[in-house]
């Protein structure tokens, strides 16, 4: 009931957007200011409902396939601004897991240095005696202690149950394609939040990723202090750094921001394409830069794995982008399951061209954006992008990393960096070799087909000569043109019949029956009129990261 009460005003507003009077009426157009106000109301509701819903808001803030840009911009504040729990409750969890605080730490700062939705991080110093058994740590070393929020488990369990029960209601307010992504989001969220509460899993993922970057001095990943860690407490070495989006401080320290952006993108290309295990929460609060320009990764609670099929398709996608092969890009997206097979490929091709142009840091002509919007609005257009469960975290990473890199360098060329990485790792050469092999096989099959065409053509001509050839044609009507035409014909016949009946009944001095016929005629006229009305399309505006960033900087 608490959750329903919090979201009821928004649900009523969304219901009236679809039908002005709930059960009937035309849809309402919503201006950007109203969207932003609703997003701020949603933000307050999520903060009021507590940790689980804050985490849900963080996930939604990286899902442009579900929410409009204005919502994503407002909910992005949840990445950093999360109220910490009281120290007394955190201390109880810590001592229940490790024992008395004084026996494990020489010093402990009770003010959290980082607040998260499910836990918070404190700075402490290990006692020299408790750390004497570890050769790779200095005695009395500073550490970061991550403590799960007190009594979070039953709260998360109850909140997940509420979210699962509420999903059928929420699906009523979205289209079919967004419903696909929303259902997958619910499954992903339940899995992700349970994994993120398991600090033993986080320690294992952190250590695996750390081993994968062993010897690469461009990156720094904290080591786990196993003697001071458990299912609800994770102690890591403390590594200082400048927040990655603090560009003024980075410039003051003389750090090459473009190089940092390139290193960051390369690290995620390696994790996703080569290693198959990756840090999945790269928002600025979890990334820092040392004074030597090394990228520091924090918080591995949200991390994931990529199976070989997805890795292969991601490589094919990046190679297609590097070659600017639009058809290959669309094919890769379709095979992964991200792009609907029914999407208008011509429109999507133009969208991809603009996306590549934006990724290269080039200016985008506004007339081309307006042209694509017009093509979308002049057709029956369903949102073509959807997000399978096995790609949810990968998309989250791609979206957030892009934002971080553009913050570091507004002219950063993603495609050039990805192309260089693929070339260095031999993926492009392998792709060319595979293409040549497939082309050779295709030529062989073409030759075999040519040898079979002549006899088949002769048999077909013989059947035509004997008038023994039949042709079956199937017409695909995905837009329902024939159905609409049939409805109009039926409505027209019914209207003609009802008007004739009304005239006859009136002539026969049967006023009650003629009134009924008149009412029936009016209903048919309304239905006939509605069949000729064009559906009101949703005004969509593409969100281009670089252009939005420039606009915000100009406004500031």
Looking at residue 201, which CATH number applies to its domain?
3.30.200.20
162: its two tokens: 């509420």
Q: How many domains does the chain have?
A: 4
- Looking at residue 385, the DSSP 8-state letter turns out to be B
286-302 residue pLDDT tens: 899 999 999 999 989 88
Residue 115, in any domain of the structure: yes
Residue with tokens 């609005």: 377
Positive/negative CA dihedral, 377, 30, 186, 62: positive
Residue 539, in any domain of the structure: no
**Are residue 53 and residue 187 in the same domain, yes or no?**
yes
**Are residue 323 and residue 393 in the same domain, yes or no?**
yes
**Structural domain of 45:** 1-82+157-191
Q: Specify the pLDDT at position 542.
A: 41
**Are residue 212 and residue 138 in the same domain, yes or no?**
yes
**Are residue 395 and residue 504 in the same domain, yes or no?**
no
- Residue 22 predicted with pLDDT over 50: yes
Q: Specify the pLDDT at position 505.
A: 80
CA gap 148, 119 in Å, rounded = 4
Q: How far is CA 524 from CA 28, 373, 484, 488, 502, in A?
A: 25, 34, 15, 10, 13
Q: How far is CA 327 from CA 312, 419, 441, in A?
A: 17, 18, 21
Positive/negative CA dihedral, 62, 65, 67, 72: positive
Residue 26, in any domain of the structure: yes
Coil, strand or helix: which one is 128?
Answer: coil
Q: Specify the pLDDT at position 338.
A: 75
**Are residue 510 and residue 374 in the same domain, yes or no?**
no
**Are residue 164 and residue 212 in the same domain, yes or no?**
no
**Are residue 104 and residue 205 in the same domain, yes or no?**
yes
Highest mean pLDDT (candidates 234-248, 431-445, 524-538): 234-248
Q: Considering the chain, what percentage of its residues have pLDDT values greater than 90?
A: 19
CA gap 550, 406 in Å, rounded = 10
In degrees, to the nearest 5, what angle opens at C-alpha 359 toward C-alphas 354 and 363? 60
- pTM passes above 0.95: no
**Which residues, in sequence order, are CB contacts of 532 under 8 Å at separation 6+?**
488
**Are residue 245 and residue 328 in the same domain, yes or no?**
yes
Q: Does residue 12 or residue 157 have the better pLDDT?
A: 157
**Are residue 14 and residue 125 in the same domain, yes or no?**
no
66: its two tokens: 């579900």
CA gap 277, 304 in Å, rounded = 6
Nearest by Cα to 263 from 302, 217, 299, 321 = 217
CA gap 284, 267 in Å, rounded = 15
CA gap 104, 227 in Å, rounded = 10
When pLDDT is averaged across residues 110-123 and rounded to a whole number, the result is 83
**Are residue 90 and residue 72 in the same domain, yes or no?**
no
Residue with tokens 């050469």: 429
- Looking at residue 228, the DSSP 8-state letter turns out to be G
175: its two tokens: 């289209």
51: its two tokens: 């940790």
Beta strands (DSSP E) in 116-171 are 119-126, 142-148
**Are residue 391 and residue 310 in the same domain, yes or no?**
yes
CA gap 468, 536 in Å, rounded = 50
Q: Specify the pLDDT at position 349.
A: 81
**pLDDT range class, residue 224, cuts 50, 70, 90:** very high
* Torsion angle defined by CA atoms of residues 26, 32, 35 and 41, in that order, rounded to the nearest 10 degrees: -140
Residue 133, in any domain of the structure: yes
Q: Specify the pLDDT at position 193.
A: 84
Positive/negative CA dihedral, 260, 207, 400, 123: negative
CA gap 361, 545 in Å, rounded = 10
**pLDDT range class, residue 218, cuts 50, 70, 90:** very high
* Domain stop point among 425, 448, 472: 425
Nearest by Cα to 266 from 318, 308, 343, 208 = 318
**Are residue 339 and residue 374 in the same domain, yes or no?**
yes
């Amino acid at each position: 009931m608490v959750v329903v009460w919090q979201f009821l005003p928004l649900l009523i507003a969304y219901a009236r957007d679809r039908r002005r009077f709930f059960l009937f009426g035309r849809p309402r157009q919503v201006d950007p200011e109203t969207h932003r106000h609703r997003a701020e109301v949603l933000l307050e509701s999520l903060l009021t409902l507590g940790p689980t819903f804050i985490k849900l808001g963080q996930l939604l803030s990286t899902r442009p396939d579900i929410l409009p840009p204005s919502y994503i911009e407002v909910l992005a504040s949840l990445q950093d601004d999360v109220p910490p729990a009281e120290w007394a409750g955190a201390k109880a969890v810590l001592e229940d897991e490790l024992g008395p605080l004084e026996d494990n730490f020489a010093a402990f700062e009770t003010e959290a240095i980082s607040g998260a939705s499910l836990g918070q991080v404190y700075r402490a110093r290990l006692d020299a005696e408790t750390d004497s058994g570890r050769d790779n740590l200095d005695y009395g070393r500073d550490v970061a202690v991550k403590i799960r929020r007190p009594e979070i488990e039953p709260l998360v369990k109850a909140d997940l149950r509420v979210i699962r029960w509420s999903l059928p209601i929420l699906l009523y307010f979205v289209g079919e394609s967004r419903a696909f992504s929303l259902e997958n989001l619910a499954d992903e969220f339940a899995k992700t939040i349970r994994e993120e509460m398991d600090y033993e899993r986080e320690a294992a993922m952190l250590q695996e990723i750390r081993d994968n970057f062993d010897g690469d001095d461009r990156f720094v990943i904290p080591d786990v202090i196993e003697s001071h860690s458990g299912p609800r407490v994770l102690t890591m070495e403390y590594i200082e750094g400048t927040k990655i989006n603090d560009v003024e401080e980075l410039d003051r320290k003389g750090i090459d921001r473009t190089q940092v952006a390139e290193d960051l993108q390369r690290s995620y290309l390696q994790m996703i394409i080569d290693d198959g295990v990756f840090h999945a929460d790269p928002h600025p609060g979890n990334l820092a830069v040392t004074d030597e320009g090394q990228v520091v990764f924090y918080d591995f609670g949200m991390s994931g794995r990529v199976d070989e099929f997805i890795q292969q398709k991601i490589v094919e996608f990046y190679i297609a982008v590097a070659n600017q092969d639009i058809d290959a890009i669309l094919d890769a997206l379709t095979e992964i399951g991200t792009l609907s097979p029914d999407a208008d490929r011509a429109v999507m091709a133009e969208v991809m061209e603009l996306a590549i142009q934006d990724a290269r840091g080039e200016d985008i002509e506004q007339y081309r954006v307006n042209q694509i919007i017009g093509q979308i609005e002049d057709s029956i257009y369903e949102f073509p992008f959807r997000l399978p469960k096995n790609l949810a975290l990968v998309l989250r990473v791609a979206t957030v990393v892009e934002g971080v890199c553009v913050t570091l360098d507004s002219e950063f060329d993603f495609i050039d960096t990805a192309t260089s990485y693929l070339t260095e790792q031999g993926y492009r050469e392998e792709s060319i070799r595979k293409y040549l092999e497939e082309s050779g096989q295709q030529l062989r099959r073409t030759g075999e087909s040519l040898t079979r065409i002549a006899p088949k053509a002769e048999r077909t001509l013989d059947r035509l000569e004997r008038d023994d050839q039949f042709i079956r044609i199937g017409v695909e009507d995905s837009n329902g043109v024939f159905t609409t035409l049939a409805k109009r014909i039926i409505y027209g016949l019914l209207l003609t019949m009802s008007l004739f009946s009304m005239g006859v009944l009136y002539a026969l001095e049967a006023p009650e029956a003629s009134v009924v016929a008149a009412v029936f005629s009016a209903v048919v006229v309304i239905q006939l009129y509605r069949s000729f009305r064009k559906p009101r399309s949703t005004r969509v505006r593409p969100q281009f990261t670089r252009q939005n960033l420039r606009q915000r900087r100009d406004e500031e």
